[in-house]
Structure 1
Amino acid sequence: MNRIRGRWARLRRITKINLILGTVFTLVAAYIGVTAYFGTASQVRYTSNDFPGAKKAATAFLRLSPLQRHIGYFNRGTAEAAVGDYDEAQSDLEAALKIAPTSAECAVRINLSFVYEKQADEISSQDPDQSQELYDRSLKTLEDAPEECQPKKSEEKQKSEQAKDRVEDKKKGEKAKNDGTDDSDSGDDSQDGDSQDGDQKSEDDKSSEGDEKSEDESSDDSENSEESDGKSEREKKREELEKRGEDSDRQQQQQGPGGDGGRSAPDKPW
Structure 2
Amino acid sequence: MNRLKGLWSRLRRITKINLIIGTIAALVFSYIAVTAYFGTASQVRYTSNDFPGAKRAASVFLHFSPVQRHIGYFNRGTAEAAVGDYDAAQADLEAALEIAPASAECAVRINLSFVYEKQADEVAGQDPEQSQELYDRSLKTLEDAPKECQPDESEEKQKSETAKERVEDKKEGEKAKEEGDDDEDSQNEDSQDESSDDEETSDGDEQQGSEDEESEDSGNKSEREKKREELEERGEESERHQHEQGPRGNGGRSTPEKPW
The TM-score normalised by the length of structure 2 is 0.95
Structure 1 residue 215, shift from structure 2 partner:
4.5
Counterpart residue type for residue 132 of structure 2:
Q
**Secondary structure at 1:125's aligned position in 2?**
coil
Once residues 153 and 101 of structure 2 are traced to their aligned partners in structure 1, the CA distance between those partners, rounded to angstroms, is 21
**Residues 1:221 and 2:197 aligned together:** no
| Per-residue deviation, 1:129 | 1.1
Q: For residue 222 of structure 2, what is the aligned residue in structure 1?
A: 232
Give the distance between the partners of 1:88 and 1:47, measured in 2 at CA.
20
**Structure 1 regions of 5+ residues with no counterpart?**
206-211
AA matched with 1:195: S
- Inter-partner Cα distance in structure 2 for 1:213 and 1:253: 56
Larger radius of gyration: 1
Q: Distance in 2 between matches of 1:236 and 1:65?
A: 55
* One-letter identity of the residue aligned with 1:108: V
Residue by residue over 1:223-267, the C-alpha shift from the partner in whole angstroms, topping out at 9 and shown as x without a partner, is 112212321221121111111111111111222223888622321
Q: Could you say if the C-alpha distance between residues 169 and 216 of structure 1 is closer, same or farther in structure 2, counting changes exceeding 3 Å?
A: same
Q: What is the rounded CA distance, in whole Å, between the counterparts of 1:215 and 1:118 in structure 2?
A: 53
Q: Which runs of 4+ in 1 moved over 4 A?
A: 259-262
Please tell me whether the aligned partners of residues 70 and 96 of structure 2 are also in contact (alpha carbons under 8 angstroms): yes
Match of 1:65 in 2: 65
What is the number of residues matched between the two proteins? 260
Shift of 1:269: 0.6
Indicate conservation of the 8 Å contact 2:83/2:251, yes or no: no
Q: CA RMSD for the aligned pairs?
A: 1.7
Distance change (3 Å), C-alpha of 1:227 and 1:260: farther
What pairs up with 1:1-270 in 2 under 5 angstroms?
Answer: 1-198=1-198, 200-201=199-200, 213-258=203-248, 263-270=253-260
| 1:34–1:260 Cα change, 3 Å | closer
Residues 136 and 158 of structure 1: CA distance in aligned 2, closer, same or farther (over 3 Å): same
Task: Provide the C-alpha distance between the structure 2 equivalents of 1:122 and 1:21, rounded to a whole number of angstroms.
Answer: 57
Percent of aligned pairs with the same amino acid: 72
Unaligned runs of 5+ in 2: none
The answer to whether the 8 Å contact 1:253/1:260 transfers is no
Greater relative CO, 1 or 2 (CA 8 Å, sep 6+):
2
Going from structure 1 to structure 2, the CA distance change for 1:192 and 1:151 (only over 3 Å counts) comes to: same
Tell me if structure 1 keeps the 8 A contact 2:96–2:108: yes
